[in-house]
């Protein structure tokens, strides 16, 4: 099999199981985080409570920045594009305006920052570097497979768009205003999982880390409070989804 076909085959397989990488990152990151809490280094800035709180909030902001990218992307795209489809690629139209006029894969860019936050939370330099490399190798194949799919479906329109828009690092030189108005209902329906995941992860890391840490506990009440609110929002949306017309957009 030629390398071109091999890359596409690998990308399609990884696309179906792209939710696995975050779980692996989370498991390894949790192990490193807990080990650091059990064996703290006296010289680490993470042992100074004021510095630790600021750093944790900074990590959370990185993840929320990634979520914001996803929210902006999902909110301005039409149905059957930029979704959470799992088994196969879906694209009824080619998105070329809004965030798609500055980067070809905004959802994966958003995912990167969402998971970079928990990776940074470990305060382990080599783990953060390893995460970045693993993410790039993993998603490079997925992006390649997606682009092959779009190239075959949209032909010259895709080629022309791809020639001026970078794949992963945004370039705002040719920004075009979104042609679709922002749909809040669609964002709430599709991104409630991401919001819950972010606060649940940060809250869990903080609570577990403090419980295993020797000495006085300093729980981050911002993480705990926002986690509770996101759980309530998730439950409300799940229960009343049909009643408040949070249907597929």
Query: What does each C-alpha distance from 208 to 31, 197, 218 come to in angstroms?
Result: 11, 16, 11
pLDDT for 105: 92
pLDDT digits (tens, 9 = 90+) for 118-163: 999 888 889 999 999 989 988 888 888 888 888 888 888 888 888 8
In a domain, 222, yes or no: no
In a domain, 82, yes or no: yes
pLDDT for 206: 86
- Note down the domain range covering 26: 3-181
In a domain, 225, yes or no: no
- Candidates 42, 25, 29, 223; CA nearest to 124 is 29
CA distance 106 to 96: 12
Please say if the pLDDT value at position 87 is more than 60.
no
Rounded to 5°, angle at Cα 32 from 214 and 17: 140
CA distance 118 to 30: 9
- Count of domains forming the chain: 1
Query: What does each C-alpha distance from 151 to 41, 91, 125, 163, 170 come to in angstroms?
Result: 52, 11, 38, 12, 20
**Among 48-52, 99-103, 207-211, 236-240, the least confident range:** 48-52
What are the φ/ψ torsions at residue 115 (nearest 5 degrees)? -95, -15
pLDDT for 85: 52
In a domain, 50, yes or no: yes
CA distance 115 to 63: 6
In a domain, 100, yes or no: yes
pTM of this structure: 0.84
Banded model confidence at residue 197, pLDDT cuts 50, 70, 90: very high
| Cβ neighbours of residue 140 closer than 8 Å, sequence gap 6 or more | none
In a domain, 219, yes or no: no
* Burial call 32-43: b when 16+ CB within 10 Å, e when fewer: bbbebbeeeeee
What CATH number is attached to the domain comprising 150? 1.20.120
In a domain, 52, yes or no: yes
Query: What does each C-alpha distance from 232 to 60, 105, 155, 225, 244 come to in angstroms?
Result: 19, 31, 45, 11, 16
| Selected residue with higher pLDDT from 237 and 230 | 230
Banded model confidence at residue 49, pLDDT cuts 50, 70, 90: low
In a domain, 220, yes or no: no
């Amino acid at each position: 099999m030629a390398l071109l076909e091999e890359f596409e085959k690998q990308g399609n397989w990884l696309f179906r199981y792209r939710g696995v990488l975050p779980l692996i990152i989370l498991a390894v990151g949790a192990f490193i985080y807990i080990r650091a809490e059990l064996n703290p280094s006296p010289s680490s800035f993470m042992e100074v409570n004021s510095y630790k709180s600021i750093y944790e909030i900074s990590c959370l902001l990185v993840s929320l920045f990634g979520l914001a990218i996803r929210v902006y992307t999902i909110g301005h795209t039409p149905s059957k594009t930029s979704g959470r489809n799992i088994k196969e690629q879906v694209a009824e139209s080619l998105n070329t305006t809004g965030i798609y006029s500055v980067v070809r894969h905004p959802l994966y860019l958003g995912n990167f920052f969402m998971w970079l936050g928990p990776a940074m939370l470990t305060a382990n330099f080599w783990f953060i570097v390893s995460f970045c490399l693993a993410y790039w190798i993993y998603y490079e194949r997925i992006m390649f497979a997606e682009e092959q799919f779009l190239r075959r479906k949209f032909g010259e329109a895709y080629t022309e768009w791809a020639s001026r828009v970078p794949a992963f690092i945004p370039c705002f030189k040719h920004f075009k205003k979104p042609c679709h108005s922002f749909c809040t209902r669609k964002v709430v329906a599709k991104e409630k999982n991401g919001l819950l995941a972010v606060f649940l992860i940060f809250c869990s890391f903080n609570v577990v880390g403090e419980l295993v840490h020797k000495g006085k506990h300093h729980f981050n009440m911002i993480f705990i409070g926002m986690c509770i609110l996101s759980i309530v929002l998730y439950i409300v949306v799940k229960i009343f989804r049909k009643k408040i017309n949070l249907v597929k957009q």
